[in-house]
Amino acid sequence: LSELEALMERMKRLQEDKEDEEASQEEMATRFEKEKKESLLVISGGISAFPLTFSFDDEIVSTDVSRYIEDPGFGYKDFARRGEDHLPTFRAQDYTWENHGFSLVNRLYSDIGHLLDEKFRMVYNLTYNTMATHEDVDTTTLRRALFNYVHCMYGIRYDDYDYGEVNQLLERSLKVYIKTVTCYPERTTKRMYDSYWRQFKHSEKVHVNLLLMEARMQAELLYALRAITRHLT
């Protein structure tokens, strides 16, 4: 099977398995912990350093972005150290965007919550119902796996989601790309972009980027807004 056909076959099998039997809460919790620990072992592409070099066809452009920021060493760090047995978990059910973050943001900055919520929903639900040359495809399972994997990397768990889907739908090269784009965007290269979903259209892969960025933004907001809520109470 081609990469595309194999992915579609896994999506179909997941849907059939879900209809036959759902995983228990204990199983889903175990799968989340496994995926969370494995995400710490995913190495992003490239090497973090300044200056950066970008290649556009045959033209090489070098830039030193450190002069634009006060702390060149500032950047993403994994939420836990590798090898730790008990990694911190943010249970989404205890503090959700819909039930908690949305109302707090609107209280702090009138109407911004509505704008953010509309943006999150639009990107999450955006689909052409296609996968490369295949039409009339329900991509909900795949979009949910992408979104929830980003939150998983940030230690956020949804109790009603089976993280076994992430491991089945997102291959290694895609996980590397996801971690690079969301955690170390300055390391992203065209080669990495080309290395996953080779049969997909550019518009579909661009949608992946949008989904990853919105998932990251929502994860960051959840942590910040939860801290503000605790401070206020």
**Residues 136-188: tens digit of each pLDDT:** 999 999 999 999 999 999 999 999 999 999 999 999 889 999 999 999 888 88
Q: What pLDDT sits at residue 32? A: 92
pLDDT at 218: 97
> Residue 49 corresponds to which amino acid?
A
Q: What SS3 class is residue 119?
A: helix
Beta-carbon contacts of 98 under 8 Å, excluding residues fewer than 6 positions away, are: none
pLDDT of residue 170: 95
- Extract the runs of DSSP E, i.e. beta strands, from 26-175: 52-56, 59-63, 90-91, 130-131, 134-135, 156-157
The single residue listed with the structure tokens 């109790």 is: 159
Provide the domain limits for residue 154. 3-232
pLDDT, mean of each 10-residue run, the chain (233 residues): 88 82 85 88 58 42 64 72 73 94 94 96 95 94 96 93 94 92 88 91 95 97 96 92
Residues belonging to the chain: 233
Distance CA 126, CA 104 (A): 26
**What confidence score (pLDDT) does residue 231 get?**
95
Counting the structural domains of the chain, the total is 1
The kind and range of the H/E element at 176 are helix 172-183
